[in-house]
Structure 1
Amino acid sequence: MVTSYRRVLTEPGTLRFSATGLVARLPISMVGLGIVLLVSASTGSYGVAGGVSAAYMLANAGLAILQGRLVDNLGQARVLATAAGVFGVAMALLVLSVEADWPILASYLLAAVAGGALPQIGSCVRARWSHALSDPGDVQTAYAIEAVADEAVFMLGPIIVTVLATAWDPVAGIVVAVVACVLGTFAFCAQRSTEPPAHPHHRSAGRRAPMPWATVVPLAVVSAALGTLFGAAEVATVAFSGEQGATTYAGPLLALWALGSLVAGALTGAVTWRRGPAIRVRWGAFAMFAAMVPLHFVDSVWLMGVVLLVGGLAIAPTLIGTLSLTEQTVPAGRLTEGMAIMQTGLVAGVAPGATLAGIVIDAQGASAAYLVCVAAGLVAALAAQALPRH
């Protein structure tokens, strides 16, 4: 296993752009929660805080694909550096608007600008790996590295921003996230030797290379369904812990889920697969569906930890397969756009999943809310079966 990872990380420049990419995408798991903590502390309203955070996340999901297309046309350095600058300024003004008690509309607008400008580092890192490596097996290993990095971001980010906001000041968590994004993005953009070439589209050249929608659409549905599953599982697990009188165990339970995914992602990158990524997406999506079924019947915190740990094993392999299949089928000139579609689907599904789970919890309790996860897993499994067989 170590040999596979050493081989890709010793390629010139790969370790540097992967490490800076990790730092640059810390805000993915920090800013939304940081906004909630900041606005709620200032206004005393979680409703307003959730609305401002939602404006940020919706703008991010809505404009990520456009940013991916711009990256393909103009190059990573030009687009990401500009986006990082806009993001930093918008976030600074957002904090000022909250602290100075500006009209709440200003906070909504600034949150939307910041969300729309957030650099799409995750998609760009994977596009850079695809450019730097020629062997499909090595690309698979590289995507596993990024899947593990994503898990680390989602495990560490909320902890960092919560500790800073509660132990120091609500602004501190956001400041750290913004600094990590801006400095990490500029450091990433400075590494021009590994940057994929831009593919500018000129009208005189005719139509752009066609997007393989027969593959991209089912994969996007799989991504959105998994996002819904993630959002619902997080809310349901928090509620389950509360019902069991063990609210403090919510974090460790979700950490066990992420740990299962992290371990599976590391193992996935070390294996030389004989079957293509489409097969792995089909089986992985089905495994995610199957892993959600037992959660409805669990009534013990300790057993829930075991079930979540095992269920997490299906997450990273499915996501790695999804992005690997995207990399293999989308034209090089539209690869970042294709990656952004998958990332957008994943992010866009989280809020509806959390909302549906919350509604079910209020009506039927936490155990019933896990059925939302089952339904989302079933949608992912069915969408994966719609992938082309060739």
Structure 2
Amino acid sequence: MVATVAQKSTSPRPGYGQLLRTPRAWTFLLPGFAARQPFGMLTLSIVLLVQHTTGSYGAAGAVAATTGISMAVSAPLAGRLTDRHGQRAVLVPVTLLHTLSSLTLTALALAHAPLWTLFAVAVPTGATVPQIGPMVRARWSATLRKSPLMSTAAAFESVTDEFTFVVGPLLATALCTAVTPAAGLVAEASLTLVGGLLFAAQRRSQPPVIRTERTRARRESAIRVPGVQVLIVAFFGIGTVFGGMQVSLAAFTESIGRPGLNGVLYGVFAGGNMLSGIVCGAIAWQGAPHRRLLGGYTALALAASLLWMSDSVLALAGLGLLVGVCIAPALITGYTLVGDMVPAGSRTEAFTWLTGAVALGQATAVTAAGQLEDRYWAGAGFLVPMTGTLLAALTLAALRSRLTVRH
């Protein structure tokens, strides 16, 4: 995936087995895996709970969107604080605050509290989502440095993210439909607390804090890198796919009287994403990463443009699988590019910008798709991922020169 690796070597990409034998890797991978599962559960758990208590997908989507927007706004700040003060110093307090906020939101929804109170609590719930994914990527960067395994690590992390989006929605749907509508958020808070604190306890693999002058830190902020700005737009578009799929699939399966299929259909979509990521990680790419990103993203936009025309479970499953297959290459290439674009002292911040962009896109899509589902036909929300990916693809095409990594 990294351009310099592909140019300097024609040997096969180092495998996943070699990556996982990296000393101390499992000390942060296992707790990190548990702690990042809630990221795939939070939005859908909120949608299912609030829709159950209010009867409106529009209201449910808006509350979930508030959480996503809050996370998107706060994530880069958390990333900068992490780069300056260390992961443990940031992770412990945000983990505790997120657990408290998530449980408070659950209690208010069950008590049928005024809608404005749900919005109020959704803000700290989103703002305190632990940025485990970026922290794991930063640990890989610190552990592997310039090793060829870095590109394999980027693919592995994207596969792990996609597995999160397989397990998270399935778990949230199963808990909310088979146990109680509140079970999804309760499980999300519990996993965040346990996984987050265990991850924070792994100090030996934590990246060192790079001390810089304040003016220099401001100058090297990741958002000032032009390529990062373009990637933020691309990841925002990917977020619209996740958010649009979650709401639209839930509305569609409910409209046909089979709400339990929601998690299955979303699992097919995310499963395609994960399997595609595994394949991408096993290939020793030779072409320029920014060209692969543009080609893969174009395919994603075209596939997402077909979703709104689906009128059966089988059609949605097939198209969802296709869309999922197209997402992984874009995510993997984007994360690899941003890792090469920014200095080590801003790397966590850079990763959180992309994570925040996905969350913002997801939040926007949840809101827009919820409104479309309430006002029009079941499945109208699929127009949102189509619009988001098409606009992002056009942006990538227009600004592709900014994605060239210069060494």
Scaled to the shorter chain, the TM-score interval is 0.7 to 0.9
1:216 to 222, 228, 236: 228
Once residues 280 and 25 of structure 1 are traced to their aligned partners in structure 2, the CA distance between those partners, rounded to angstroms, is 27
In structure 1, the partner of 2:169 is: 158
Number of aligned positions between the proteins = 390
Once residues 44 and 206 of structure 1 are traced to their aligned partners in structure 2, the CA distance between those partners, rounded to angstroms, is 48
* Alpha carbons 1:141, 1:268 under 8 Å: kept: no
In structure 1, the partner of 2:362 is: 350
In structure 1, the partner of 2:320 is: 308
In structure 1, the partner of 2:386 is: 374
* Alpha carbons 1:323, 1:339 under 8 Å: kept: yes
Cα deviation for residue 330 of structure 1 reads: 1.1
Q: In structure 2, the residue corresponding to 1:11 is in which secondary structure?
A: coil
1:16 to 27, 36, 42: 27
**Unaligned segments of structure 1, at least 5 residues:** none
1:82 to 93, 96, 99: 93
Once residues 132 and 59 of structure 1 are traced to their aligned partners in structure 2, the CA distance between those partners, rounded to angstroms, is 31
In structure 1, the partner of 2:335 is: 323
TM-score, structure 1 as length reference: 0.87
Q: Is 1:258 paired with 2:265?
A: no
Give CA-to-partner distance per residue, 1:52-87, whole Å, 9 cap, x none. 434333221221111111001111111111211222
Q: In structure 2, the residue corresponding to 1:281 is in which secondary structure?
A: helix
Once residues 378 and 97 of structure 2 are traced to their aligned partners in structure 1, the CA distance between those partners, rounded to angstroms, is 40
Cα deviation for residue 313 of structure 1 reads: 1.3
Answer with 150-159 or 125-134: which moved more. 150-159
Cα deviation for residue 119 of structure 1 reads: 0.9
The 5 A counterparts of 1:36-75 are 36-39=47-50, 49-75=60-86
Q: In structure 2, the residue corresponding to 1:198 is in which secondary structure?
A: coil
Answer with 150-159 or 161-170: which moved more. 161-170
Name the Cα RMSD after superposition. Answer: 3.1
Q: Using CA pairs below 8 Å that are at least 6 residues apart, which structure has the higher relative contact order?
A: 2
Once residues 345 and 69 of structure 1 are traced to their aligned partners in structure 2, the CA distance between those partners, rounded to angstroms, is 16
In structure 1, the partner of 2:293 is: 281
In structure 2, the partner of 1:272 is: 284
CA 1:2 to 1:16, structure 2 compared with 1: closer, same or farther past 3 Å? farther
CA 1:296 to 1:111, structure 2 compared with 1: closer, same or farther past 3 Å? closer
Once residues 255 and 215 of structure 2 are traced to their aligned partners in structure 1, the CA distance between those partners, rounded to angstroms, is 63
**Unaligned segments of structure 2, at least 5 residues:** 1-11
CA 1:374 to 1:164, structure 2 compared with 1: closer, same or farther past 3 Å? closer
Q: In structure 1, the residue corresponding to 2:204 is in which secondary structure?
A: helix
Answer with 300-309 or 221-230: which moved more. 300-309
* Alpha carbons 2:64, 2:366 under 8 Å: kept: no
